[in-house]
Chains A and B, each alone.
Chain A
Amino acid sequence: MHPVELHCWHFMSYPYLPDDFDEKYDTGWVTVPNKLWDREKTDGLYQEYIDQLVYGEELGFDGLVLNEHHQNIYGLMPSPNIIAAALTQRTSKAKIVVLGNLLPLHQNPLRVAEEYAMIDSITGGRLVAGFAVGGGPEAYNYQVSSPKARRQFWEGVDLIVRAWTEEGPFEHEGHHYPLRYANIWPKPRQTPHPPVWIPGALSVETTHEVAKRGFDYFLSSRTHGSATRMAREQFATVLTEHGDRYHPFRFGVLISVYVAETDEQARAESQEGIWYFLKNCLKGHLRKTGRTLTFGAGVPSQSVKSWESYLKHSTPGAEMLGDANTWEELDSKASIIVGSPATVLQKFWDLIEEAQIGRFLIQFHFGNMKPELARKSMKLFAEQVAPTLRKDSAELFARQYPQLEERAELGAGE
């Protein structure tokens, strides 16, 4: 049986911004002044965030998800591999899912191949290896030329997989990363290599590259509901074009959740953290107010053709997730699920049925949310939502995807 995978995602956001942050600053990214970092209040902050992830394993989550961000208040993990290393010493069962290392920001992708191999070796094969290109803020943070970044990225991914799987030393006659001696020590524990997940935000080009290599895809765009179904359908079509077949464990979504005893209580408890997250952390990313750096002519990573399609299908100044001003608006965006166990269960189930998703990457902590609230929400989810979701999804997937039963292990290269 293959129940839905439930992973615990953390951004590790900066929780000590002044109350007038939104008024005073036009972005939480790249140029947000680091005088706002409080050296004393942040004592123990990383420890708390790591402890929350460790608690995720105790509660039975399948994986603990880390991510890489730089020079911003949204996510304080410039090096997710350092947090992953800490988790190797505190956990024993959960997958350590690094989504992902931003390859164009690294001088040499072999370093990533090596660090991932170390994590995989130390954990006896618990690594899920994610790779991402990075978006607008990353281009500015590390001076990455966007039109070149994707080609550079895929060369880096292929070099890493080759370094994990082929006998070394070999020469890599690459365009961006030419190397005379590729010969990594250690090798990863998993064979042929750790599962590879690649995030995307509906770019057709990315789904083709993922499908071509037999990797798994995860949707980072935070659009849910029918948009998720459409993304899954698009990915499934692309898989078919590459002679492959869709099943729910090829696809994951990032989703944000707060669970409490009742709907009212969930809303009351999560308000402060969620608004902090929307108004501060998403400023410069998914908010029209201020300066959104995520995409645009200044970071022209998309082909001219994709940009044309974007222009034709979008409205300038359209509202994004962080622009919601009321709970009703937020609810309608279906990106953050807040409610009692029954409410949350129903919304997850709707998404599973509609979009046939096998992997949920769940954000439980928002902005400046009190740690005890995030933990309570995780616990309620684990105890009152997860069991039913697992049982019912396993039955659903067994009926709809009988081919799954023939596979012992799901992952890269299948």
Chain B
Amino acid sequence: MSERSIDIRGRSVWLYEDGDGPPLVYLHGFPDFLGAWAEPLPFHRDLAKGFKMIAPAHPGCSNSDEDDDMEAVEDVVFHYLEVFDTLQLDRFNLVGSDIGGWFAAEIAVRHPEMIEKLALVGATGLFIPGEPIADLFWESHPSDGVSLAGLRALMFGDAEQPIARDFFPDGRGEIEQELLRYKTFRLASRIGFNPPYLHHRRLRDRLHRFKGPALIMHGADDRLVPRSHAEAYASGFPAAQLEIIDGAGHSPHLEKPDQTAKLLHKFLSGEA
């Protein structure tokens, strides 16, 4: 594994790379490595086996420069087109979790020719009338000044399991960790606060444009993104399969890392 930064038209983008094989781009989410956690987790190490995995930190996240002009998910898509050009990636597997799943879907519907296979884990991004994405912004305000139980409950099936507590401790966590979280909220708020929350109204109608293989993974107890969103992704992409992960909430990659990585490998290596 290695970490480095690359320059995209004067802005620095932080990349984590691991493994060897066909290219796989991993777009992180909020409860994730680079989104709220500084180190790669077992899931990421597993995912990289048999692939050359490239995980960039989104603009403003981790050590990537913030882009003050970034206003909408469209800007994120163009940012990634620049990143792919710079890395000379013209066809690759694309995996995204949470908001990273949203970005991956937006890229796939615009440039289906670039994507070998697409996998989304707990992806936001869709608007389903009457089935809103829950308010993670609101829940990031601790109740009684200290408790993040509400945020943990949106991010994990079992809100009080150790990894949930590690990610979002009550009171004050390590400054570095708090800053990682804050940076991701800056990006999420820029592109996903209005309309509420974290979606693009037109995306659902565009899903048909990506005709390649797609895997939609969703925690059975996800309280941030309703299951209907995963179902809409699965029915919107012409060649998609849906996997509901039992015993997981919004973060199957953290709550069921082995199972999630295995399903991804099976899908990506064509044994699905």
Contact = CB atoms under 8 A, between A and B. Distances in A.
Interface of A: 26, 136, 139-140, 143-148, 151, 288-293, 296-300, 304, 307-308, 311-312, 315-318
B186 A311 contact: no
B171 A139 contact: no
B145 A307 contact: no
B15 interface: no
B93 interface: no
B167 interface: no
Contacts of A140: 137-138
A298 B172 contact: no
B145 A316 contact: yes
Contacts, number: 87
A304 B190 contact: no
B194 A145 contact: yes
Nearest to A143: B194
A316 B141 CA distance: 11
Contact of B175 (A144, A298, A300, A308): A308
Interface string B156-197: 000000000000000110010011011101100110011110
Contacts of B143: 26, 290-291
A25 to B, nearest CB: 13
Given A290-B144, A317-B145, A312 B171 contact: no
A365 to B, nearest CB: 28
A300 B182 contact: yes
Contacts of A289: 144-145
Interface in B129-152: 136-146
Contacts of B138: 140, 291, 293, 298
Contacts of B39: none
Interface in B20-71: 60, 66, 68, 71
B132 to A, nearest CB: 13
Nearest to B188: A300
A151 B190 CA distance: 12
B179 A292 contact: no
Given A146-B193, A288-B145, A289-B144, A298 B137 contact: yes
**Interface pairs A-B: 8 shortest CB-CB:** A288-B145, A317-B145, A298-B137, A317-B146, A298-B140, A316-B172, A145-B193, A143-B194
Contact of A297 (B140, B146, B195): B140
A292 B145 CA distance: 7
A297 B193 contact: no
A106 to B, nearest CB: 15
Given A140-B138, A311-B179, A300 B146 contact: no
B229 to A, nearest CB: 20
Contacts of A298: 136-141, 185, 189
Contact of A148 (B175, B182, B190): B190
11 contacts: A136-B141, A140-B137, A144-B194, A145-B194, A288-B145, A290-B144, A291-B141, A297-B140, A297-B141, A297-B181, A300-B189
A304 B182 contact: yes
Nearest to A307: B182
B160 to A, nearest CB: 19
Nearest to A323: B145
A318 B193 contact: no
Contacts of A144: 193-194
A136 B171 CA distance: 20
Contacts of B183: 304
A312 B171 CA distance: 13
Contact of A317 (B71, B137, B141, B171): B171
A35 to B, nearest CB: 20
B137 A299 contact: yes
Contacts of B185: 297-298, 300
Most chain A C-beta atoms within 10 Å of own C-beta, residue among B140, B183, B193? B193
A304 B180 CA distance: 9
Given A311-B175, A316-B172, A299 B144 contact: no
Nearest to B150: A291
B169 to A, nearest CB: 10
Contacts of A318: 145
A316 B68 contact: no
A348 B181 CA distance: 42
A299 B141 CA distance: 9
A79 B68 CA distance: 31
A125 to B, nearest CB: 37
Contacts of B189: 145-147, 298-300
Contacts of A316: 142, 145-146, 171-172
Contacts of B186: 147, 300, 304
Contacts of B175: 308, 311-312
Given A291-B143, A298-B185, A318-B145, A151 B68 contact: yes
Contact of A143 (B172, B179, B196): B196
Contacts of B68: 151
Nearest to A294: B141
A297 B182 contact: yes
Contacts of B193: 139, 143-146
Most chain A C-beta atoms within 10 Å of own C-beta, residue among B66, B143, B186, B195? B186
A304 B66 contact: yes
A297 B141 CA distance: 7
B104 to A, nearest CB: 22
Most chain B C-beta atoms within 10 Å of own C-beta, residue among A136, A290, A293, A300? A300
Contacts of A145: 189-190, 193-194
A259 B137 CA distance: 41
A98 to B, nearest CB: 26
Contacts of A288: 144-146
Contacts of B144: 288-290, 317
A34 to B, nearest CB: 18
Nearest to B191: A145
